[in-house]
Amino acid sequence: MAGGGWLGQALGVGAALLWLSLVAALALAVRQRWPEQREWSRKVAHIGAGPVLLIAWGLNLDRWIAIGAAAVVTLLALLNHRRRLLPAIEDVDRHSFGTVAYGASITLLLTLWWPWHQAAATAGVLVMALGDGLAGLLGPLIRSPSWRVFGERRSLVGTAAMAGGSLLALAVVAALAPEASPAAWGLPLIALVATALEQVAWQGVDNLSVPLLVAVLWHALA
């Protein structure tokens, strides 16, 4: 088995669980410190979930363990969406399935690409984590020209944050796996497509569409 046998796999699962626990604790702390800013704690969890793929990649987590863990987290996200067990992650002033779609996209990427194309799967998740996370934090915080797409507000600052965060995430993955990465010109192209997709975020659908298409484009251009 990959990752140094069962001991290595246990270490990988433990590291991922520890990281997610720290992210959840930070989200709760942010919610307690700024209770009026409901979106902040949610975006902390959103950004923090992305590096789990880096952990799984670095520790070479087995395919079925990774898929199973992602599926369980997605089911827990669905339960939290319905029951609000952790309001710091889900309790916002708009109806959205984004958290559930985010988990579903990770599960689907792992099913399609893991472990054969780990860089592609990681790129898809990190773009959504960092790009969309920064857009959700900075867009409402900094005033700039804005518009609505299917009822969802989009702003110049938020869109620029999505583009910049996406490009940074792609550059990180490319640096980690240069042999499995697109040419340098491909990274801005993928970031541009991700930014365009993020404009359509009705009920959190971008949490599914962005990671999947980014992974597909990464694999196609690599």
Q: What pLDDT, in 10s, does the model give residues 29-74?
A: 998 999 888 888 888 988 999 999 999 999 999 999 999 999 998 8
Q: Mean pLDDT check: name the lowest of 17-21, 61-65, 88-92, 128-132.
A: 88-92
Please give the model's pTM, rounded to 2 decimal places.
Answer: 0.90
Q: In which band, very low, low, confident or very high, does the pLDDT at 1 lie, cut at 50, 70 and 90?
A: very low
Tell me the C-alpha distance between 49 and 215, whole Å: 17
**Other CB atoms within 10 A of residue 72 CB:** 12
Q: Is the pLDDT of residue 92 over 70?
A: no
Length of the chain: 222
Largest CA distance in the chain: 53
Tell me the C-alpha distance between 216 and 212, whole Å: 6
Tell me the C-alpha distance between 66 and 56, whole Å: 7
**pLDDT tens per residue across span 134-158:** 998 999 999 999 999 988 889 999 9
- Please check whether residue 154 is in contact with residue 139, taking contact to mean a CB–CB distance below 8 angstroms: yes
pLDDT given for residue 85 in this prediction: 65
Handedness of CA 180, 182, 188, 191 (dihedral sign): negative
> Residues 10, 14, 16, 17: what is their CA dihedral angle, to the nearest 10 degrees?
130
Q: Is the pLDDT of residue 3 over 60?
A: no
